[in-house]
Homo-oligomer: A and B are copies of this chain.
Amino acid sequence: MLKDADRVFLEEKFLSKFDFSGEDREKVIKNCKNKFMKKDEILYQDNEGYYGYIIIKNGILRAYVTSNTLKEITIFRVKSGEECILSSNYTTTSFGKELNFQIEECCEFLFIPMQIYQELKEKYPSVTNHTLKLISKKFSSVIEVIEQALFLPLSDRIRIFLEQNCKNKTIKITHEQLANHLGSAREAISRTLKDMEKSGEIERKRGFITILSSDFKRN
């Protein structure tokens, strides 16, 4: 059973977008669950328990692609207030098959099981439209990842990542993690960070990276 605060959150972030019947609203509320997952936990592809519509309350969920050799690259993140669809049945809904999902920062989220979401999608064209918009937006993210990964120098990609993910100009991250976010090799990351530190652009200390100069302009 959802707490009052979660009901309000669900209303604001989901129910209010659609013109559901009273009965369908109740069905969503009754089946929606509040879940909590710890940092670094992985939403396994074969764990159907997590197929459905997810709305993040707090924390960050990271979608990434991985290779046989365990190299990774982050495709997009889902942050507080944002939503995502996880599905095994790619052709009828959305992500899941090709993407892996990992909790990047401790996550509290609301979860609507796939079966309920599918029923809504079949009944309300507005839900299909909403799904289409979500996927189109993610499609843009993927294209952006390709552009950056293939066409930008690693130093620029590190700058973009640091700027997008720092808090008060600082970020706690290992070279290994940064390599996984950017689909690069740890050695290349370490070398580039060293160069950036030498040139006075950043400072590295106890696992933290701090941006010192901010004259990097993204295109």
Q: Is B147's CB under 8 angstroms from A67's CB?
A: yes
**Cα–Cα distance between A91 and B131 once the two chains are bound (Å):** 11
Chain B residues positioned under 8 Å from A125 (CB to CB): 125, 128
Given contacts A129-B128, A135-B132, contact A142 B151 (CB under 8 A): no
Chain B residues positioned under 8 Å from A95 (CB to CB): 139
Q: Is A142's CB under 8 angstroms from B143's CB?
A: yes
Instruction: Pick the most buried of A91, A129, A133, A146: most chain B CB atoms within 10 A of its CB.
Output: A146
A90 on the interface (CB 8 Å rule)?
Answer: yes
**Cα–Cα distance between A138 and B135 once the two chains are bound (Å):** 11
Chain B residues positioned under 8 Å from A91 (CB to CB): 133, 136-137
Cross-interface CB contact of A183 among B136, B140, B144, B150, cutoff 8 Å:
B150
Which chain B residue has the least Cβ–Cβ distance from A125? B125
Chain B residues positioned under 8 Å from A142 (CB to CB): 139, 142-143, 146
Q: Is B65's CB under 8 angstroms from A143's CB?
A: yes
A97 on the interface (CB 8 Å rule)?
Answer: yes
Given contacts A136-B135, A150-B149, contact A144 B98 (CB under 8 A): yes
A68 on the interface (CB 8 Å rule)?
Answer: yes
Chain B residues positioned under 8 Å from A65 (CB to CB): 143, 146-147, 150
A186 on the interface (CB 8 Å rule)?
Answer: no
Chain B residues positioned under 8 Å from A128 (CB to CB): 125, 128-129, 132
Q: Is B68's CB under 8 angstroms from A136's CB?
A: no
A-B CB contact pairs (8 Å), 22 listed: A69-B151, A71-B150, A73-B146, A75-B146, A91-B136, A91-B137, A93-B136, A94-B136, A98-B139, A98-B140, A98-B143, A125-B125, A128-B132, A131-B132, A132-B132, A135-B136, A142-B143, A145-B146, A146-B149, A146-B183, A149-B150, A151-B183
Interface, chain A (partner B; CB < 8 A)? 65, 67-69, 71, 73, 75, 90-95, 97-99, 125, 128-129, 131-133, 135-140, 142-147, 149-152, 183, 219
New A-B pairs, 7, CB < 8 Å, besides A68-B219, A71-B151, A75-B143: A69-B151, A91-B136, A93-B136, A98-B143, A125-B125, A146-B146, A150-B183
